[in-house]
A and B are shown apart, each in its own frame.
Chain A
């Protein structure tokens, strides 16, 4: 979200509110990452607060990414403002992964939605609040039904899965995307930043409380809608007009793969989902942010070496981050059903078609931009070459 926080040439100091939110975010992040937070669960006040290892790793990754974004910010961007706004966003992420149940998560989503909707954008406040409100309603009602058990429990499992999709703004709740809107105001913040953290913290919590039939409904919904999003996102990223829209649908497709992995419930499937969401936040989102200036100028690009590397990365080719994700997801799908693995393979090939189009839209970064792109490629290589390290950090 680098160049979009301040107007070009602007070196404005952060406002009092932003400073307050940044300090609050920093405090929340420190609290969420502190080892003592697990001890709160032992207190007799009924607040079972904890952070799952996968969500903790994502939080640490976001902090590192923020540090790099501040260090490599273009000279036209106010570094202080970027740091403070980034800390506020990471703090919101920390709050989202720390809350212990879907009711509290829904409430935090509502607040995040309202805070996000106050940012300047083309769409009105009320319209932008609808997505988070729907997600909060689905999570709250779903968890209530799961607690009721019986046939209502299965309806609840369905609502929880749909709530996760509504948070991310995926099909069937695809949010309006305005390419001209700054990334920090657009719906991509939900798809690529907040929703991955919610998925990594919420899914393990709700699954342990569900009965086998409820778990089956939850998993089947995730797999079915994951395949729909993978196929639709892959096709749209390839065929839709406008490179910004193509990038948006590439996020949808990657989320589809993560949803299928989450729904497979096997260790390999969950590991694939975790790595996919980690790569979404640490690789794909920074790549999109690097591509934004070129996307807005609509300059026709040609393929240079860096673009070819990015295309291979986005296609999920070895040794980049997408490769272990695809390998693990296919292995888990094969263990469940070869027909599912076949469908998944076809859709993965379809989603790879758009990679050269997306890579071309990055343009030809120079100076700091080139260093930033190099770091993103290095992160992707680290995820692709040593997934075991990241899986161990995520508790797999």
Chain B
């Protein structure tokens, strides 16, 4: 009964981790798509199909928009990824411990999926200096905010995720140069 939400939560965390550990447009797009799919699965498990549909649509659109510019390829695990890997694992362990200690045990883990995605994505925004990874991580953070529950948050977060993905990865001057 709890397998689908648990799996969805895992997919969401893995998608956020992928977004945080990639430097190529395909890596960002796949990470965003997985994060959105996972968060949508959690919403579906919680009995909110409309939220799930909106989240999945926003994630798909964000991923597609992110594919159009930025460094080519996957760019997974570039040199210097160790702190990002450590952060992702620490967030995962902390969320499981938090669910076990203060929420309803394993059943509470899916509700922590948006928090895990938000923490991993925010960790990337705080440490990166290039524009495209910051935009991709900010899109993932917006999807996480959309996944926390209310319909207003889902609409606002989904729209913001898409809008952030629509911002070009390079400034007009960089693109011209």
Q: Which residues of A contact B (CB under 8 A)?
A: 45-49, 99-101, 103-104, 106-108, 110-111, 113-114, 118, 124-127, 129-130, 133-134, 136-137, 140-141, 143-144, 147-148, 150-152
Contacts of B129 in A (CB 8 A): 124, 126-127
Q: How far is the CB of B167 from chain A (nearest CB, A)?
A: 6
Contacts of A48 in B (CB 8 A): 152
From the candidates B137, B153, B160, name the one contacting A101 in the complex (CB within 8 A): B153
Query: Contacts A45-B151, A103-B156, A111-B164: A140 and B102 contacting too (C-beta < 8 A)?
Result: no
Q: How far is the CB of B148 from chain A (nearest CB, A)?
A: 5
From the candidates B118, B135, B137, name the one contacting A140 in the complex (CB within 8 A): B118
Contacts of B171 in A (CB 8 A): 118, 125
Q: How far is the CB of B162 from chain A (nearest CB, A)?
A: 10
From the candidates B131, B137, B159, name the one contacting A125 in the complex (CB within 8 A): B131
Interface majority SS on B: helix, strand, loop or mixed?
Answer: helix
Select from chain A the residue with minimum beta-carbon distance to B153.
A103
Stretch from B39-47, B59-67, B120-128 contacting the other chain: B120-128
Q: B55 an interface residue at 8 Å Cβ cutoff? A: no
Contacts of B146 in A (CB 8 A): 103, 107
| Pair A130/B126 contact, Cβ less than 8 Å | yes
**Interface residues on chain B, number (Cβ under 8 Å):** 39
Q: Which residues of B contact A (CB under 8 A)?
A: 102-103, 114-115, 118-119, 122, 125-126, 128-131, 133-135, 137-138, 141-142, 144-146, 148-153, 155-157, 159-161, 163-164, 167, 171
| Pair B138/A104 contact, Cβ less than 8 Å | no
Select from chain A the residue with minimum beta-carbon distance to B48.
A46
Contacts of A101 in B (CB 8 A): 150, 152-153
From the candidates A47, A107, A127, A141, name the one contacting B160 in the complex (CB within 8 A): A107
CA distance A133 to B149 in the complex (A): 19
CA distance A87 to B128 in the complex (A): 32
| Pair A133/B126 contact, Cβ less than 8 Å | yes
| Pair A107/B115 contact, Cβ less than 8 Å | no
| Pair A136/B134 contact, Cβ less than 8 Å | no
| Pair A110/B149 contact, Cβ less than 8 Å | no
From the candidates A99, A106, A129, A150, name the one contacting B102 in the complex (CB within 8 A): A150
CA distance A152 to B134 in the complex (A): 29
From the candidates A100, A125, A133, name the one contacting B122 in the complex (CB within 8 A): A133
| Pair A100/B152 contact, Cβ less than 8 Å | yes
Contacts of B131 in A (CB 8 A): 124-126
Q: How far is the CB of A214 from chain B (nearest CB, A)?
A: 15
| Pair A137/B119 contact, Cβ less than 8 Å | yes
| Pair B125/A104 contact, Cβ less than 8 Å | no
From the candidates A99, A104, A110, A144, name the one contacting B164 in the complex (CB within 8 A): A110
Q: How far is the CB of A19 from chain B (nearest CB, A)?
A: 17
| Pair A129/B163 contact, Cβ less than 8 Å | no
CA distance A136 to B141 in the complex (A): 8
24 contacts between A and B (CB under 8 A): A46-B152, A99-B156, A101-B153, A103-B148, A103-B152, A103-B156, A107-B156, A107-B157, A110-B141, A110-B145, A111-B142, A111-B164, A118-B167, A124-B131, A125-B131, A125-B171, A133-B125, A133-B141, A134-B122, A136-B142, A136-B145, A140-B114, A148-B102, A150-B102
